[in-house]
Chain A
Amino acid sequence: MSDKPFFVGYLPVPGPLRIFLLSVCVVLIGGLAAAGYIMGVTQDDPGPGAFRFDYGRQTVTGVVEMTPYPVIHVTKGNDRIKPGDSFMMTAGGKSGVDSRAMPLNGQLAEVSGIILERGDLYMMQLRGGRNGLKAAEGDAPEIVAEPQGRWQLTGEICDGKCLAGAMRPGRGLAHKACANLCLLGDVPPIFVSSQPVLGEEFLLVTGPDGTRLPRAAYDYVAQFITAEGEITRRGDLLVWEIDTDTIKVTP
């Protein structure tokens, strides 16, 4: 019979195997703990974005504008949302509200829903159906687009809803697939600029000449890029018409 030590779980550990088993335990436990710590500390800060259920349901009135993504310019606000504010809208899940907003383009409408907020950026997740978006009485003031020239910006294309707080993290490569699904579902895309441009860190990003974000840009979502495009101020919101031919991935 062989004299090699043999491990049996319910019997005392043979002497020659003790150091080996102890070493394996220490390396395994210590290694996994170290791996977890390294993974954790190297992750980016997910940021302060969140659903603001603590604000309660918000209802305001404003002018709907398709940029082509639906934006509302507030004319009658409340204690949190002031007249003159402009914000984007989304539906529940990974869906936009284009089909509901399009018939009301340029008209006065009442919107109701929950706010998602991340610093200066906020958007509203509307309630379902007409409870979330319906025509309102009154004359809609004209929204004048103010061209701000052509700019080269550096930053990241994200989907506005997750970035504003629906997901943590709501940006970065780990979130790329989710961001693209949101964009395919008509959630407004947002460009996060490396530094404030015209006082804003977050810009609604579209295609040239008022078109939707081109599919060619989807490959660059969640990556850090440099690109050029025209910026237009609509209400207090900046809209950047990205020129996809100028997109370059930064190092």
Chain B
Amino acid sequence: MDAAQALVMAMQTWGIIGGLVAAVFLTIGMDRIDEDARGAYIFRPLLIPGVLLIWPIVLWRWWQIETEAAGWAGRYRAVRGWYGVSVIAMSIAIVAVVITGFAVRQTWPADAEPVQLSTGDSQ
């Protein structure tokens, strides 16, 4: 398996798990943790793309609320706690990616001359 296949498989696996989480959460989980959502169904398909992307956070919050592991504010604290670090890390990563891209970019080999290794029948 080469790098491209591995990337595609990783994304497919992430998406499949996200789809399963979306199916369970939007049909069962949401009713269990959010009484305001009970009986409301039209908006739920709109959440599918988001759940596909951030299903680990969906599961984590579901678990936090379901088990009452934290007060209502505490359910969000762990995620918020990473915001600052994430913003700095992503800012550095963007600059690093751009600089690395420029650094490893090939230069057009304008000086490379064609080399004839053997003559053809018509020469």
Instruction: Write the residues of chain A forming the contact surface with B, with a CB cutoff of 8 angstroms.
Output: 42, 44, 146-155, 173, 193-197, 223-224, 226, 228, 230-233, 249-251
Q: Knowing A42-B102, A155-B109, A224-B106, say if A197 contacts B114 (CB, 8 Å).
A: yes
Told that A149-B120, A251-B106 touch, could you supply 19 new A-B pairs with CB distance under 8 A?
Answer: A146-B120, A148-B120, A149-B116, A150-B117, A151-B115, A151-B116, A152-B117, A153-B114, A154-B109, A154-B112, A154-B113, A173-B105, A194-B110, A195-B113, A224-B107, A226-B112, A233-B122, A250-B109, A251-B107
B91-119: which have CB < 8 Å to A?
A: 102, 105-119
Listed A/B pairs (23) with beta-carbon separation below 8 Å: A146-B121, A147-B120, A148-B120, A148-B122, A148-B123, A149-B116, A149-B117, A151-B116, A151-B117, A152-B114, A154-B112, A154-B114, A155-B109, A155-B112, A173-B105, A193-B114, A194-B109, A195-B112, A197-B114, A223-B106, A224-B107, A226-B109, A233-B122
Q: Knowing A226-B112, A250-B112, say if A150 contacts B118 (CB, 8 Å).
A: yes
The CA-CA distance from A228 to B114 in the complex, in Å, is 10
Instruction: Write the residues of chain B forming the contact surface with A, with a CB cutoff of 8 angstroms.
Output: 102, 105-123
Chain A interface secondary structure, helix, strand, loop or mixed? strand
Task: For B121, list chain A residues within 8 Å (CB).
Answer: 146-147
Task: For B109, list chain A residues within 8 Å (CB).
Answer: 154-155, 194, 224, 226, 250
The CA-CA distance from A228 to B117 in the complex, in Å, is 9
The CA-CA distance from A196 to B113 in the complex, in Å, is 8
Task: For A195, list chain B residues within 8 Å (CB).
Answer: 110, 112-114
**Contact: A231 with B120, CB < 8 Å?**
yes
Task: Name the residue on B nearest A44 (C-beta).
Answer: B108
Q: Give the shortest distance, in Å, between A49 (CB) and chain B (any CB).
A: 16
Task: Name the residue on A nearest B106 (C-beta).
Answer: A224
